[in-house]
Amino acid sequence: MGASAYLRFAALFAVLTAFLLLVGYVVSYYFLGFGSLAILAVMVSISIIVNAVSYFYGPQMMLRLSKARFVSANELPHVHSALTEISQSAGIATPRLALADQPQPNAFTTGRGKNNSVIVVTKGLVSTMNDNEMKAVLAHEVGHVIHRDISLSTAASTVATTITYMADLVFFSMLFGGGGRRGGGAGIFAALLAPVAATMVQLAISRGREFYADEASAKLTGRPDYLISALTKIEQYIRRGVPMTASPTTSSMWISNPFRGGSADWFSTHPATQKRIKRLQDMQRKSGVYYA
pLDDT in tens, 162-210: 777 777 766 676 666 555 445 555 556 666 776 777 777 777 778 888 9
Domain total of the chain: 2
In terms of domains, do 91 and 68 share one? yes
Element containing residue 15 per DSSP (H, E):
helix 3-25
In terms of domains, do 228 and 124 share one? yes
User: Residue 149: CB partners within 8 Å, gap ≥ 6?
Assistant: 109, 209, 213
Does residue 196 sit within a domain? Answer: no
pLDDT higher than threshold 50 for residue 10: yes
Closest CA to 128 of 34, 234, 213, 45: 234
In terms of domains, do 213 and 280 share one? yes
The pLDDT of residue 255 is 94
Q: Residue range 122-134: average pLDDT?
A: 97
Known catalytic residue at 141: yes
Q: How far is Cα of residue 2 from the mean position of the Cα atoms in its chain?
A: 19
Alpha helices in 26-102 (DSSP H): 38-65, 77-90
Does residue 193 sit within a domain? Answer: no
In terms of domains, do 278 and 164 share one? no
Does residue 292 sit within a domain? Answer: no
In terms of domains, do 173 and 212 share one? no
* pLDDT tens track for 273-285: 999 999 999 998 8
Q: In terms of pLDDT, which residue wins out, 10 or 206?
A: 206
User: Residue 105: CB partners within 8 Å, gap ≥ 6?
Assistant: 122, 124, 125, 127, 128, 129, 233, 234, 237, 242
Does residue 194 sit within a domain? Answer: no
In terms of domains, do 115 and 215 share one? yes
Q: SS3 for 141?
A: helix
In terms of domains, do 21 and 139 share one? no
Domain carrying residue 8: 3-57+160-187
Closest CA to 194 of 165, 218, 151: 165
Q: What is each CA distance from 54 to 17, 108, 207, in whole angstroms?
A: 21, 16, 21
Question: Is residue 253 within 8 Å of residue 180, measured between CB atoms?
Answer: no
Element containing residue 112 per DSSP (H, E):
strand 107-113
Does residue 201 sit within a domain? Answer: no
pLDDT higher than threshold 90 for residue 120: yes
* CATH number of the domain enclosing 69: 3.30.2010.10
In terms of domains, do 239 and 267 share one? yes
Does residue 192 sit within a domain? Answer: no
Does residue 92 sit within a domain? Answer: yes
Q: How far apart are CA 291 and CA 150, in angstroms?
A: 34
Q: Please state the pTM of the whole predicted model.
A: 0.76
In terms of domains, do 41 and 79 share one? no
In terms of domains, do 72 and 112 share one? yes
Q: How far apart are CA 181 and CA 192, in angstroms?
A: 18
* pLDDT tens track for 231-247: 999 999 999 999 998 77
**Percent of the chain clearing pLDDT 70 (strictly above):** 66
Does residue 272 sit within a domain? Answer: yes
In terms of domains, do 78 and 169 share one? no
In terms of domains, do 135 and 230 share one? yes
Check 141, 210, 215, 235 and give the catalytic one: 141
Question: Is residue 131 within 8 Å of residue 76, measured between CB atoms?
Answer: no
